[in-house]
């Protein structure tokens, strides 16, 4: 093949590759919004918590029933009672307690810790989490899907983040009480505590749990007893 024809063929091939890649980028940019959350179609949608049905959120209250109180919430102001086995209490500002958050993709929580109090290992299947320490010293940690453990002891004013769905915890490691405030990009992030595998209804068979944790069934029975489930 003459050199001129070979050069022309190479240029055509390069151009075809460029336009193929360009076309793929255009398609991705135009189609990808179809797979993300839709934009709001109204200013707000205050949740009707008494509605009989809900689909990915609560139905909206009629505008005539909406008032200023639907958009303000004071449930995170007071320190909560931490007298329990974990030494913590979570005050939630999500759609169930603050209906004005419905469909907005926002919520917050306040966590109060007794000395040595711990939020047990858990995940939020519908949300990432960010927060900061209001007072005290708190160890915050999470585990990646590659089983890498990331953690740091934070003091008042310091901030943290937890990627969506990853197992994480907080623990008061200071000498006194501690408080953190967290925010979520979901109006109802959901919480799955790992220890709930021992208190499900109906119960997970002891043999299944024993095999998963590689312990004797008597150990599983003992753990269930501590959580009040036999």
Nearest to residue 94, comparing CAs of 187, 28, 167, 173? 187
Read off the pLDDT of each residue in 56-76 and give the average, rounded to a whole number: 93
The residue with tokens 């109180």 is 69
* CB contact at 8 A, 101 and 107: yes
How would DSSP label each residue in 96-146?
TT-GGGTTS--EEEEEEE-TT-EEEEEE-TT--EEEEEEESEEEEEEE-TT
Task: Give yes or no for residue 36 having a pLDDT over 50.
Answer: no
Peptide bond into 202 cis (omega under 30): yes
Binding residues: 122, 124, 129, 168
Binding site feature residues for Mn(2+): 122, 124, 129, 168
Structure tokens at 136: 């005290």
Residues marked as binding for oxalate?
124, 129
* Average pLDDT rounded to a whole number, residues 2-21: 59
Task: Report the SS3 class of residue 38.
Answer: coil
pTM of this structure: 0.77
């Amino acid at each position: 093949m003459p050199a001129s024809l070979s050069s022309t063929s190479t240029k055509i091939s390069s151009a075809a590759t460029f336009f193929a890649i360009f076309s793929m980028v255009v398609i991705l940019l135009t189609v990808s919004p179809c797979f993300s959350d839709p934009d709001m179609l109204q200013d707000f949608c205050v949740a009707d918590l008494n509605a009989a049905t809900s689909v990915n959120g609560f139905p909206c209250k009629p505008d005539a029933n909406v008032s200023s109180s639907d958009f303000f919430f004071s449930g995170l102001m007071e320190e909560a009672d931490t007298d329990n086995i974990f030494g913590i209490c979570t005050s939630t500002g999500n759609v169930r307690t603050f209906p004005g958050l419905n469909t907005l993709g926002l919520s917050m929580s306040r966590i109060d810790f007794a000395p040595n109090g711990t939020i047990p290992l858990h995940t939020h299947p519908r949300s990432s989490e960010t927060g900061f320490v209001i007072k005290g010293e708190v160890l915050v940690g999470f585990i990646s899907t590659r089983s890498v453990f990331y953690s740091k002891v934070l003091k008042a004013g310091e901030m943290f983040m937890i990627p969506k769905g990853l197992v994480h915890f907080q623990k008061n490691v200071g000498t006194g009480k501690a408080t953190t405030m967290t925010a979520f990009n979901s109006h109802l992030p959901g919480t799955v505590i790992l220890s709930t595998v021992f208190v499900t209804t109906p119960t997970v068979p002891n043999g299944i749990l024993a095999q998963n944790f590689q312990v004797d069934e008597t150990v599983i029975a003992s753990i269930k007893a501590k959580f009040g489930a036999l």
